[in-house]
């Protein structure tokens, strides 16, 4: 017998909602350039985005039985995060399972293996971020634990950490850092807005980014 748990603490939904107002790149910068999964994990459609608590899953390569169990047990808003050995040659998720996710109100899927039925997935609009697209079928053989820490895209994701996914990829925020990262994201967006306003007002990049002293120290002379 193998007894597994699907219980873990989830973050305050109001904080998840606030984080969703910031792009993945902003969140990554705001937390000190941390938490970005490898760029090999990409949305199947750049218009897709999501933000939610991670429901973590470990699957054997070419096997999606634990993923299916997770879809049955995840809560509305959860983003399922599947670590399956960075295995490109398997289509472990497609439009049938995506419909099960939509019916349960899940937030999205992030996986380091492949997905298939991508045209149907795009039409359905369920956010899917994967390592590959592969038509190759999977077996349902290897059971194992879920809702534990997983390694995916070079980062550890724990159940209940928050994943923010958009056209630029996937970033993970530790649940305990959420408030701080939201505050730092706000500061960053305000600073960027000020830069953009200055450029529109005709100021130069060198002035706004205070580059003159840096360029001088580096000995750069510009002939116009
Ligand atoms: O059936 C599977 O294992 C994956 C799939 O193609 C789907 O969910 O449509
Ligand atoms: Mg299918």
The CATH number assigned to the domain holding 147 equals: 3.50.30.40
Interface confidence (ipTM) of the complex: 0.98
Q: Shortest CA distance to 9 belongs to which of 182, 155, 149, 161?
A: 161
Per-residue pLDDT tens for 200-218? 999 999 999 999 999 999 9
Within-domain flag for 3: no
Within-domain flag for 1: no
Name the region of 109 (left: φ>0; alpha: ψ -120 to 50; beta: rest): beta
Per-residue pLDDT tens for 8-61? 999 999 999 999 999 999 999 999 999 999 999 999 999 999 999 999 999 999
Alpha helices per DSSP H over the chain: 13-19, 24-30, 65-73, 95-103, 118-124, 178-200, 205-208, 212-217
Residue 70, helix vs strand vs coil: helix
The answer on 109 and 211 residing in a single domain is: no
Residue to mutate, 72, 97, 140, ligand 1, most ligand atoms under 8 Å from C-beta:
97
Ligand 1 centre to CA of 185 (Å) is 37
Closest atom of ligand 1 to CA, residue 138 = 3
Ligand 2 centre to CA of 91 (Å) is 8
Ligand 1, atom 2, lies closest to the CA of 93
Ligand 1, atom 5, lies closest to the CA of 94
What whole-number distance in Å separates Cα of residue 187 and Cα of residue 190? 5
Within-domain flag for 68: yes
The answer on 127 and 206 residing in a single domain is: no
* Residues of each annotated binding site: 94-97, 116-117
The answer on 119 and 37 residing in a single domain is: yes
The answer on 203 and 168 residing in a single domain is: no
Within-domain flag for 160: yes
The answer on 190 and 107 residing in a single domain is: no
Within-domain flag for 150: yes
The answer on 151 and 116 residing in a single domain is: yes
pLDDT at 144: 87
The answer on 116 and 207 residing in a single domain is: no
Per-residue pLDDT tens for 184-202? 999 999 999 999 999 999 9
The answer on 196 and 101 residing in a single domain is: no
The answer on 120 and 199 residing in a single domain is: no
Residue 108 pLDDT grade (very low, low, confident, very high; cuts 50, 70, 90):
very high
Strand partners, 58: 83
Ligand 2 centre to CA of 115 (Å) is 9
* Residues of each annotated binding site for substrate: 94-97, 116
Within-domain flag for 7: no
Within-domain flag for 5: no
Q: What percent of the chain shows pLDDT beyond 90?
A: 95
Stated pTM of the model: 0.95
Residue 216, helix vs strand vs coil: helix
User: Which letter, b or e, does each residue of 109-138 get, where b requires 16 or more Cβ atoms within 10 Å of its Cβ?
Assistant: bbbbbbbbbbeebbeeebbbbbbbbbeeeb
Domain count, the chain: 2
Within-domain flag for 31: yes
Strand partners, 169: 166
The answer on 191 and 86 residing in a single domain is: no
pLDDT at 224: 84
Ligand 1 centre to CA of 92 (Å) is 6
The answer on 56 and 119 residing in a single domain is: yes
Residue 212 belongs to domain spanning: 182-218
The answer on 192 and 155 residing in a single domain is: no
Residues with a CB atom less than 6 Å from ligand 1: 64, 91, 93-97, 116-117, 138
Per-residue pLDDT tens for 113-169? 999 999 999 999 999 999 999 999 999 999 988 999 999 999 999 999 999 999 999
Ligand 1 centre to CA of 94 (Å) is 4
């Amino acid at each position: 017998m193998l007894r597994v748990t699907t219980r873990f603490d989830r973050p305050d939904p109001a904080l998840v909602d606030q984080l969703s107002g910031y792009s993945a790149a902003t969140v990554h910068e705001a937390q000190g350039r941390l938490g970005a999964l490898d760029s090999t994990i990409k949305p199947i459609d750049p218009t897709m985005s999501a933000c939610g608590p991670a429901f973590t899953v470990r699957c054997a390569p070419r096997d999606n039985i634990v993923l299916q169990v997770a879809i049955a047990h995840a809560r509305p808003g959860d983003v399922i995060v599947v670590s399956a050995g960075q295995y490109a040659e398997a289509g472990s998720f497609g439009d049938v399972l995506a419909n099960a996710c939509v019916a349960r109100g899940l937030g999205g899927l992030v996986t380091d293996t492949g997905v298939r039925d991508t045209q149907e997935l795009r039409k359905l609009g369920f956010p899917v971020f994967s390592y590959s697209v592969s038509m190759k079928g999977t077996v349902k053989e290897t059971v194992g634990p879920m809702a534990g820490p997983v390694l995916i895209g070079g980062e550890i994701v724990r159940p209940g950490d928050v994943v923010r996914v958009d056209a630029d990829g996937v970033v993970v925020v530790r649940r305990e850092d959420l408030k701080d990262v939201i505050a730092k994201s706000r500061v960053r967006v305000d600073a960027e807005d000020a830069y953009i306003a200055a450029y529109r007002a005709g100021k130069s990049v060198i002035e706004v980014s205070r580059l003159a002293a840096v360029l001088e120290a580096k000995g750069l002379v510009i002939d116009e």
